[in-house]
Amino acid sequence: MHGTVGQMSTDAQEGLQSRIDRWRVSVLASGAAETNVSVVEAQLRDHAARLADAGLDAEEAFLVALRRVAASDEASRDFARAYSDELWIRPAETEGERGLAHGGATELSVMLGFAVAAALAVKAPALFGFQLNGHDASFYARNLSFFVLPFLAMYFIWRNGLSSKGIAGLSAVFVAGAVFANAYPFTPGGSTGVLTAIHLPIVLWLAVGVAHAGGDWRTDARRMEYVRFTGEWLVTYALIALGGGVLVAMTTGVFQAIGLDVSTLISDWVLPCGAMGAVIVAAWLVESRRNLVGGMAPMLARVFTPLFALMLVALLVGVVWTRGVINIEREVLILFDVLLVVVLALLLYAISTRDPLSESKLFGRIQLLLVICALAVDVFALLNIVARLSEFGFSANKTAALGLNLILLVNLTWSAFLQAGFLRSRRGLGAVERWQMRYLPVYALWAVVVVVAFPPLFGFA
């Protein structure tokens, strides 16, 4: 069904036609009915023709027309998000409606202000007698997030905007987290304090995502943007840390050569303050200088996905060959869970950076192998956790591990089903993306349960 495209040149008409053809292939692959696709295509062409008559070029006319039909068509909405991601632009309503007009110099100044504030915040407890090293280490571990994440949230609020109701809700989350991290009478060296230190940052990091999305956290596209940001932030922060490590080593060596010992200054001030400030700097680099990491992080996901898949295959063979499925040591189970979390993070980021319009399904098969192997590892871990619970009873650590592995079991099982459906051309990648994004709150909810309920449930031990 081909409609008019106004006064567009032949080249512009061909460009628009190629984009509509890509749209049609994508929505049909997602399972949309042929009849409905034809109706929506007619609307898409009509909008594009009117926009072309108004003076827009082929790309602009297609983008705006696509967004208009996507408002009422889910398959087109998935394609619009993918197409926008491919062009590395934000959806129009994000930048336009919020009116972001921060100049480069102004944003740099604001970022540096928040980075300095985070750097100084980590030293603030010292004014009240809390030392970073020694017996106060558990206090710093439980409160590490509060030294930097509130400033990161404020930076995103300044940059992306957030309603006063959203700011109040976000503030309530941070205040509640601070209360639960410090009001409970944790037993020194106990498991519940360690679990709080591990799970509280998960809750707060996802809360920061609300500020990153400008309050529009309920849409899958905004959650996917935050997943992508998280992956690129990790890569950028790691690069900053490596560079900072080289700088510190060279500085220490130079001062030692002239007879000055700066090790105390570096350990007490430079390292902790630099680590906190770098969180804000890395976020600014990702948001304002996307081209610095936009090509690197997706490449790393492509490289490490098959490597992790091979490693999991070797791990499964090794476990069955040497130990069997049951009676795996506690330390090995902990490593299993850490590995599963890393694999899940890699899977999420690989999905967020994939090319939804690519016809090649080789990488999809590798992802499916990764998910199936991770699912097998998770089942092994669950069998051993259940065996330990029946033998030794419940404890904070075993219960937390049980909950995490059950949550991962559900996620990985359905992910494998959806990924297999995509490979059989029964559904589009949008279904895989939606499942992962809508499952994110489950992790946050479980982390809240561990932080709030586990300490009193297990006697704060």
Q: What is the pLDDT of residue 155?
A: 94
How high is the pLDDT of residue 355? 58
* Averaged pLDDT of the chain: 82
- The yes-or-no verdict on residue 240 having pLDDT over 60 is yes
What percentage of residues in the chain have a pLDDT greater than 90? Answer: 32
Q: Give residue-wise pLDDT tens across range 293-341.
A: 445 666 777 788 888 888 888 888 877 777 666 566 677 778 888 888 8
Q: Across residues 86-99, what is the average pLDDT?
A: 43
pLDDT at res. 197: 94
Across residues 154-163, what is the average pLDDT? 90
pLDDT for the residue numbered 177 = 95
Between 45-54, 87-96, 177-186, 345-354, the lowest mean confidence (pLDDT) is in 87-96
Give the pLDDT confidence of 383-414 residue by residue, as tens digits. 888 888 888 889 999 999 999 999 999 999 99
- pLDDT tens figures, 35-61: 788 888 888 888 888 777 766 677 777
Q: How does pLDDT run across 416-427, given as a tens digit for each residue?
A: 998 888 888 766
Ranked by mean pLDDT, which of 2-11, 283-292, 298-307, 374-383 comes out on top?
374-383
- The answer to which of 144-158, 171-185, 428-442 has the lowest mean pLDDT is 428-442
Give residue-wise pLDDT tens across range 3-42: 444 455 666 677 778 788 888 887 787 777 777 888 888 8
The pLDDT value recorded for residue 434 is 83
How is 315-344 classified by DSSP, letter by letter? HHHHHHHHT-SS---HHHHHHHHHHHHHHH
